[in-house]
Amino acid sequence: MVPVSIQVRQALSKLVLPVLLLMSVGIIIAGQADRPLADKARMRVADVLAPLWSLLSRTQTDSERLVHGLKEARNLAEENHRLSAENANLRRWYEVAVSLARENDTLKTELHWVPEPTPAFVTGRVVADSGGIYARAVLLVAGTSSGVQTGNIALAANGLAGRVTEVGAHAARILLINDIASRLPVELESSHAAAIMAGDNSPLPRLLYYSQDTRPIEGERVVTSDQAGAFPSGIPIGNVHYLHPGQPVVQPFARLDRLTMLRVFDFGQSEIEPPEAPGHVPLTRPHRALTLPFKTLLGPGQEG
């Protein structure tokens, strides 16, 4: 240390504050002039502090979880009581269900019921929203290698989403039910009346060609119908809603604008070939034309 007199030391200590103030002003100006440098310095400090911060935030989440657990524990008895009551109720329903299933089985045996095949399905992630020639179509990461075929049916979590129109080795394009090219035979659930659901690229596909004496009722469920042979009957699609009087649309159960996962079902519908009926003259080729999804896109002579 350089020996300095007390007076000089006091003078120096008085100078420290103004010098530091000037330095901070200088830093302000330098930081404004050279922003990338300031940002770099910030990032370096943040890098050093990041482990500490993560420790802090983990501690906080842990303590929050602890507090939450304690709160839960407080009404544990009440919850337990409620759950046991519910469990007793459900157990009763279970008994009812078992007896009903048994009864159903006996009745089916009595009637020599032919069991329906259980459909096979694969689940894939929706990766792209691009449609090729369609406006409303998605691409699914599941292709022929996983057993997806053209004409299979794609279901979202709680309703019909669309049909497989093109399939590659690892991807399949699915035409959604609200595309303008999509026309499906549907059934109104309460009246069992048939109608056609036609997409128009809007979120709500329209209902067409319903019979005039059984009009769709607001809120009625719409399910698929097996009329053309492309769909098995009874897959839920949506609810009837009237935008204007005389213009019923379907509100789909599936959130068609935010699809993330789809299950593709193979109902094996195309394998059901009607037996030859003597005297029955088919107007078109018997089943190929029916499984073709979009008749409307093709001219009358181009089918098959």
Give the footprint of another protein on this chain (CB under 8 A): 16-17, 20-21, 23-32, 38, 41-42, 45-46, 49, 52-53, 56-57, 60
Shortest approach of another protein to residue 34 CB, angstroms? Answer: 10
Q: In 205-258, where do the E strands start and end?
A: 206-208, 221-224, 236-244, 247-252
Shortest approach of another protein to residue 25 CB, angstroms? Answer: 6
Across the chain, which distance is largest between two alpha carbons, in Å?
127
User: Strand 221-224 relative to strand 206-208: parallel, antiparallel, unpaired?
Assistant: unpaired
The span from the CA of 298 to the CA of 78, in Å, is 64
Specify the residue, 14 or 280, whose C-beta has the smaller distance to another protein.
14
Specify the residue, 16 or 114, whose C-beta has the smaller distance to another protein.
16
User: Strand 183-188 relative to strand 153-155: parallel, antiparallel, unpaired?
Assistant: unpaired
Half-sphere exposure of 20 (CA within 13 A, CB side): 6
Shortest approach of another protein to residue 48 CB, angstroms? Answer: 10
Specify the residue, 63 or 284, whose C-beta has the smaller distance to another protein.
63
Shortest approach of another protein to residue 252 CB, angstroms? Answer: 38
3-state secondary structure of 192: coil
Shortest approach of another protein to residue 53 CB, angstroms? Answer: 4
Specify the residue, 33 or 169, whose C-beta has the smaller distance to another protein.
33
Shortest approach of another protein to residue 73 CB, angstroms? Answer: 24
Specify the residue, 16 or 169, whose C-beta has the smaller distance to another protein.
16
Specify the residue, 41 or 97, whose C-beta has the smaller distance to another protein.
41
The span from the CA of 195 to the CA of 211, in Å, is 7
Amino acid type, 210: Y
Shortest approach of another protein to residue 36 CB, angstroms? Answer: 12
Specify the residue, 29 or 272, whose C-beta has the smaller distance to another protein.
29
Half-sphere exposure of 95 (CA within 13 A, CB side): 5
> Rg (Cα) of the chain, in Å, rounded?
34
Shortest approach of another protein to residue 2 CB, angstroms? Answer: 18
Specify the residue, 14 or 244, whose C-beta has the smaller distance to another protein.
14
The span from the CA of 222 to the CA of 216, in Å, is 9
Q: Which class for 187: exposed (0-12), middle (13-18), buried (19 or more C-beta within 10 A)?
A: buried
CA angle, 183 then 277 then 273, to 5°: 50
The span from the CA of 202 to the CA of 179, in Å, is 8
